[in-house]
Chain A
Amino acid sequence: MTPRTPTQGSTREEPLLEVENLRTSFPTDRGDVTAVDGISFGVDTGEIFGIVGESGSGKSVTALSILGLAADGEVEADAIRFRGEELSTREMSAVRGGEISMIFQDPMSSLNPVMTVGEQIAEVVRHHGEVGESTGILSELRRKYVTGTSDSSRSWQRAVELLDTVGIPDPEQRANEYPHQLSGGMKQRVMIAQALAGDPSLIIADEPTTALDVTIEAQILNELFELRDEFGVSIVLITHDLAVVRETCDRVAVMYAGELMETARTETLFDEPTHPYTKGLLRSIPRVDDDREWLNAIDGTVPDPFNRPSGCPFRDRCDAAFELCSEPLDRYDATGTDHEVRCHLQHDAVDIDDGEPVVEGSLHSRLDGTETEPLDERSGVVEPGGERQ
């Protein structure tokens, strides 16, 4: 197993969206903060691709960077390709809202509170669809402040149709309502309708169900499934919720401190998690069907963005950390196809002997022959009570 470039060995066809070595940093008073640190992934046509991570891991910034919406951020990438063509920032703004659209987490703050929802959707239809209605600034201003969009116009009818598509009852009437008149789930459906207005082939959904109750969450996720099944839309689903990922996504990338730690098909990730962080996350979730007295928490907190450790960002919290972990991360193939892990335990020169990683001679000498640190039993996690499970 050796580090490889993203395209090598992949059995999949050319992805719809391909991101190579994306880096986003934000200048602050205390210096630059790297929010996304060199990530690469691809999304296939008709695929639901999940990016899962804790808050501050950079998953939302990833989405915003791809769309060119990371305000103040310095975005660098070797390539961001859509349908095989490289997109410059300028081209991205033409694609954004149309071919690629976004659903935000909090619909209340993403919808305009002083425009009816129908009006907001119709506006997107006019700008991205071929309805032959004027989108000049004067006619938009007239619609916005004087006449409203005419009920008989094609853009309005399309808006009503879209509200119907996303399962809003009485769409004709609802289109005339303001966001505050709708419940959380309904508002999220409006966001989805708006994202659909430009006939997208890719939708980036940033925590679309986080603010919702489980029952409503199930409804919204089903709505996303239907978009994929009916319209063949690809979806990038950004979430912190592993359970949502598991039931929704085809492939998943686990993000930690700006890096993708593990990327795999969903079944593989949940059945054979390989990165210690993925394993830790899966163990820390309370389940309806377990009888554990103590949850296996991951001790510690995410690294300070101003003071990131060298090498693997997870090594300070990792039970399996050993000498190689301070080296920059590499990408390794793990079990099966399409399974990439960024963890030095997967290095060819590392063997696990008696639960401890042993580094082969040649590599070892390169590292000044530092002592091998003791490695806890791989599955062991120390509880606050002090017991070891």
Chain B
Amino acid sequence: MTDGSDPLLVAEDVKKHFTVEQGMLDRLFSDSEVVHAVDGVSLEVATEETLGVVGESGCGKSTLGRTLARLHDPTEGVIRFDGEDISSLSGARLKELRKDVQMIFQDPLSSLNPRKAVGEIVGKPLEVHDIATGEEKTARVRELFEEVGLNPDTRHRYPHEFSGGQRQRIGIARALAVEPKLIIADEPVSALDVSVQAQIINLMKRLQAEYQLSYVFIAHDLSVVKHVSDRVAVMYLGEVVETGPTDDIFERPEHPYTRSLLHAIPSVEGETGRREILLEGNPPSPIDPPTGCRFHTRCPEYIDGECAKVDPELTAVDGADTSAPAHRVACHWLEHDSSERAAQSPFDRDERGDGAVDTGLTDD
């Protein structure tokens, strides 16, 4: 999918920082606090590819999505879409970009205007971008409704009259109206029930094939991300800590954080019983992120003297080529011998006996 052709979307060292609102005296006498929501993310998305972005809440994945869609202005870094630098577009040129890049939001009820009939909501982008008006618009709206599995005759109803799954279909129809090349979907199924979630995931996959869409699929549910993505980026505290083809990430995870996350997934198959907890505590604040590797405060494979000092760079793992879509990891363990790691890692040991790693936070 990535061979030869240039990727559709490229982000290079993108940062998005927010300044925390403070009182006047604070502003006069001290530096204001800065939330490092996205702090140097590089990634790329090829045509018709789905890039899954996973991470815990607060890791900056939604901010990244909004920045890529240019709903936020990046603080630093370059975003290229179809070869063009879009990081500082504004006005008419930004509006042009909206025809190519659309978003689907988590909560369809709060992202659909409650006072507008859903047909109007779906038809609005056609009007705004001078794609269709009048009869032509109505016909196109009917077509879009059918495309996403809604009865076109319901287009005069209001958002509250629809179920959660149907509302998400409306959100998808609206995004689809301008025939975009890239859709950034921020937790599109996490508010939905499992049976409906499967309907929406299937719908998104069918539309992808039909319209040659690329997706950036942001979610916290790893099973869903595994199912939809060609490649995955794992985020922690504003940074990508591991990225690569989906199978590599799920079958040969390298970063301790990725391994912890995969370890924590409950399953409806396989062995039952309690999940072993390898990740204690909560992520630190993005206002004052830890020095060195940001994960070192919770890492079950912490290396004394290294992790807290130097922030590791994304490096290709052994066997992967060095190009961007390959399997890359930001972890100091890559600089070490794998046998050395196996001796310490709680993930590599078959039996966790006497040498079990104490994360120091277990309750006693």
Chain A residues near B (Cβ < 8 Å): 54-55, 164, 167, 169, 183-186, 213-219, 221-222, 225, 240-244, 246-247, 266-267, 270, 280-282, 284-290, 292-299, 301-302, 383-385
Contacts and interface: CB of A to CB of B under 8 A. Distances in A.
B198 A219 contact: no
4 tightest A-B CB contacts, nearest first? A243-B266, A297-B198, A54-B193, A295-B198
Given A266-B272, A294-B205, A243 B195 contact: no
Interface string B172-208: 0000000000000000000001111111011101100
Contacts of A184: 57
Contact of A169 (B202, B273, B361): B361
B288 to A, nearest CB: 15
A215 B201 contact: no
Contact of B261 (A54, A214, A240): A214
B194 A281 contact: yes
Contacts of A213: 56-57, 220
28 contacts: A215-B260, A217-B264, A218-B275, A219-B280, A222-B277, A242-B194, A243-B266, A246-B268, A266-B272, A280-B195, A284-B194, A284-B198, A286-B223, A286-B224, A288-B226, A288-B267, A292-B227, A293-B205, A295-B201, A295-B227, A297-B195, A297-B196, A301-B166, A384-B149, A384-B199, A384-B203, A384-B206, A385-B206
Contacts of A246: 266-268, 272
B270 A289 contact: yes
Interface in B149-164: 149, 163-164
A385 B282 CA distance: 42
Interface in B126-158: 149
Contact of B268 (A221, A242, A301): A242
B250 A288 contact: yes
Contacts of A385: 202, 206
Nearest to A383: B202
A295 B204 CA distance: 12
Given A213-B56, A267-B272, A296 B262 contact: no
B220 A301 contact: no
Contacts of B265: 214, 243, 288
B67 to A, nearest CB: 22
B279 interface: yes
B274 interface: yes
A292 B228 CA distance: 10
A167 to B, nearest CB: 4
B352 to A, nearest CB: 16
Contact of B198 (A242, A296, A302): A296
B272 A244 contact: no
B222 interface: yes
B198 A55 contact: no
Interface in B229-280: 250, 260-262, 264-270, 272-275, 277, 279-280
Contact of B56 (A215, A280, A288): A215
A112 to B, nearest CB: 22
B363 interface: yes
Contacts, number: 133
Interface residues of B, number: 46
A389 to B, nearest CB: 11
A299 B203 CA distance: 12
A216 B298 CA distance: 13
B277 A218 contact: yes
A294 B228 CA distance: 10
Contact of A215 (B196, B199, B226, B261): B261
**Most-contacted residue by chain B among A167, A289, A297, A298 (CB, 10 A):** A297
Among B56, B198, B361, the most chain A Cβ lie within 10 Å of the Cβ of B198
B165 interface: yes
A49 to B, nearest CB: 16
A287 B165 contact: no
B277 to A, nearest CB: 5
Nearest to B148: A384
Interface in B312-329: none
B269 A289 contact: yes
Interface string B82-94: 0000000000000
A225 B275 CA distance: 11
Contacts of A217: 264, 266
Which among A214, A243, A301, A384 has the highest number of chain B CB atoms within 10 Å?
A214
B227 A301 contact: no
A183 B163 contact: no
A281 B203 CA distance: 18
A214 B264 contact: yes
Given A247-B273, A287-B223, A299 B194 contact: no
Contacts of A266: 272
B175 to A, nearest CB: 17
Contacts of A267: 272
Contacts of B193: 54-55, 240
A296 B164 CA distance: 19
Contacts of B262: 288
Nearest to B257: A215
Given A225-B274, A270-B268, A287-B269, A214 B202 contact: no
A216 B166 CA distance: 31
B222 A214 contact: yes
B35 to A, nearest CB: 16
A19 B199 CA distance: 35
Given A54-B195, A215-B279, 5 more contacts: A221-B275, A241-B266, A244-B266, A280-B195, A301-B165
B275 A297 contact: no
Contacts of A247: 266-267, 272-275
B199 A297 contact: yes
Nearest to B282: A183
Nearest to A167: B363
B148 to A, nearest CB: 10
Given A288-B226, A288-B250, A215 B194 contact: no
A317 to B, nearest CB: 8
A219 B264 CA distance: 10
Contacts of A285: 194, 198, 223, 268
**Which of B197, B266, B280 has the most chain A CB atoms closer than 10 A to its own CB?**
B266
